[in-house]
Amino acid sequence: MTPPPTKAAPAPPPAKSDTPAGTGTPRSVEQLKAAAQKGEGAAEHDLGVLFAQGNGVPQDYRQAAHWFREAAMQGVANAQYNLGVLHERGLGVQKDPLKALLWYLSAAEQNHAAAQYNVGVAYAEGKGIPQNYAEAQKWFLKAAERGLSKAQFNLGVIYEEGLGGASNLAEAYRWYKVASASDEPDAQKRLADVTRRMSPAQVAKGEELVRQTPVKPKP
């Protein structure tokens, strides 16, 4: 049987807030610090990104974690996701898979696609929680429908291998084809492999599922 779906490869996103207050003219480090110290969530998040990346300030993951936590407590999804990354990797904070998962869940519940993917990985690999492929499938589907090709590929693996349930080659075909349209590594090969094992009727069903998929493959 194929190993569980590929591991997450999270990384702090660019210094861009996911709240309206963070849009507009980019602010200097000093402006961000002043706004963050007043409790502005967008500034707290963006300042955390600067410390995580060492952009305009010395790289300092402890400071990054501090500011991500401040913003995360205000519900900033990118900050919740980034704090999860730091806890998963042990950067500036103690490595803690359960805390990472809890922060990923907070962001995932706000439709943060990368966080949804990482929640799926946690369930697939049993990181911080018991392994549960049904939950992994649920969260990969949410991320896949938001266009995350890694999640689309992992759904294909789950359906092809029957991880946590019966194998469904038509569903595997659907998600490998959608992922391959985004140039996801190995998706095209897995699509070809699964197609060779399918009957013409199964392939037709797979194509029908592709047409019904919210995220359409590229022409």
Do 36 and 108 lie in one domain? The reply is yes
Q: Total structural domains in the chain?
A: 2
Domain boundary residue among 98, 131, 164?
131
The answer as to whether 15 is a domain residue is no
The answer as to whether 102 is a domain residue is yes
Q: Say what the pLDDT of residue 27 is.
A: 84
Q: Say what the pLDDT of residue 128 is.
A: 86
Low-confidence ranges of the chain (pLDDT < 50): 1-4, 6-24, 218-219
Q: Say what the pLDDT of residue 2 is.
A: 42
Q: Say what the pLDDT of residue 21 is.
A: 34
Burial tier of 27 (Cβ tally within 10 Å: 0-12, 13-18, 19+):
middle
pLDDT tens for 41-93 read 999 999 999 999 999 999 999 999 999 999 999 999 999 999 999 999 999 99
Tell me the residue range of the domain where 34 lies: 1-6+27-131
Q: Say what the pLDDT of residue 217 is.
A: 54
Domain boundary residue among 103, 131, 159?
131
Question: How many angstroms separate the Cα of 195 from the Cα of each of 38, 46, 52, 199?
Answer: 57, 45, 44, 8
Cα separation, 11 vs 167, whole angstroms: 32
Q: Say what the pLDDT of residue 214 is.
A: 85
Q: Say what the pLDDT of residue 216 is.
A: 56
With beta carbons less than 8 A apart as the criterion, state whether 5 and 157 touch.
yes
Do 50 and 115 lie in one domain? The reply is yes
